[in-house]
Amino acid sequence: MTGTTTGADDGPLKMRVLFGTERFSSQHSWGELTGLLPGSLRAVVDVRSSPPGAFAERARRESIDVVVPLWAELDAETIHGGRFGLIQQFGAGVENIDIAAATSAGVWVANMPGLNAVDVAEHAVLLLLALLRRLPESRSGFDRGQWGDPPGEALAGSTVCIVGLGAVGTQLARRLDPFEVRLIGVRRDVRRGAPPTTPDLEIVGADRIHEALMRADAVILTASHEPGRPPVIDRAALAAMRPGARLVNVARGALIDETALLDALNRGRLAGAGLDVFTNEPYPASAPLAHHPRVIATAHNAALTTSYFRRAGRALGDALAAALHAGPPPNALNAPTQPRQIHPQHRAEVTSGSQHDTQARSRVARPTVARPCPE
């Protein structure tokens, strides 16, 4: 990366950043991030966005300094063919990025671990409570003769198994503890023990996960998933779960054998499932788990909150500042021996492009002015 400084005659540097989705959400565009970047970032940020399917081609073809893939794939061909010097994920998951190829190409890879942990943990609690209280069926209580339906179940006094005790799992345990539940945590390294915020959490090794499943009224998945690994919740795991248990997944869709889950739901083996993630996304609205009567499905939006958008925007500013000054980004996942140089332009003018890009760039003329995102 380059350590070029800004000259008085040249004007501020312009950093070109390409995002792998067209918007953060229906409420927030990527252009809004420029109002969240620190005033100390001595550069104008040229925000560009792309649908996931066109992201790789644009990352190879255009003169880009930093790419933010989100769910778009970044394979070795794209990484070696591009000119970007930093792959900055807008979250924790990097299974869609070829990190080995990035290292050999001299490209830094970084993520934002734990930044959305609270948001995702809250969503997991929401799904669990909605399943227990049968929230999707609540309208039936207004039918003639059905006032008071449907009866639900209390969370207090139950046993909840959290599979994965990273940042999300730890925050989830902290939020479930006041509900007076018995908590079981499944983690690979039992020597790490329970999170300090929930010292009474019982720790079980991953090799004993079926024992934990047998004891749980609800199972919540917050674990990471390595590509190519078999599902954690397969037919054997589903068979080990208590009849009438609930299953919630806010981690990765590939943690569950979806065919086996659908069978367990159809047979009534499980009382319900709350799913925010799916093996293949976007998950079609016509697919069986999206409209199953025993499923509460959300479209991978557990982390899509305004507060997370703001926090991640500020974290992105720190990463861009590091890239601008030739340093390693925060939370770097690799260490290229010969980092690829980036070449921010010494001018604030933005070249013409698509209408969407032009609208985004028109908001970057005053990077030091913080403009709050709408509530």
Question: CA 65 to CA 323: how far, in whole Å?
Answer: 9
Q: Which of 225, 252, 340, 363 is catalytic?
A: 252
Q: Determine the angle formed by the axes of helices 167-176 and 117-132, rounding to 10 degrees.
A: 50
Q: Annotated catalytic, 252?
A: yes
Question: CA 202 to CA 209: how far, in whole Å?
Answer: 12
Tell me how far apart the terminal alpha carbons of the chain are, to the nearest angstrom: 37
Question: CA 253 to CA 259: how far, in whole Å?
Answer: 12
Q: Which of 180, 281, 325, 371 is catalytic?
A: 281
98 within 8 A of 118, measured Cβ to Cβ: no
Residue among 58, 54, 123 at smallest CA distance from 300: 123
Q: Tell me the two tokens of residue 26.
A: 């229906």
67 within 8 A of 74, measured Cβ to Cβ: yes
Q: Which of 80, 133, 269, 300 is catalytic?
A: 300
Q: How far is CA 138 from CA 205, 266, 289, in A?
A: 38, 21, 20
Q: Tell me the two tokens of residue 95.
A: 């299974």
Question: CA 270 to CA 6: how far, in whole Å?
Answer: 61
Query: Which residues are known to be catalytic?
Result: 252, 281, 300
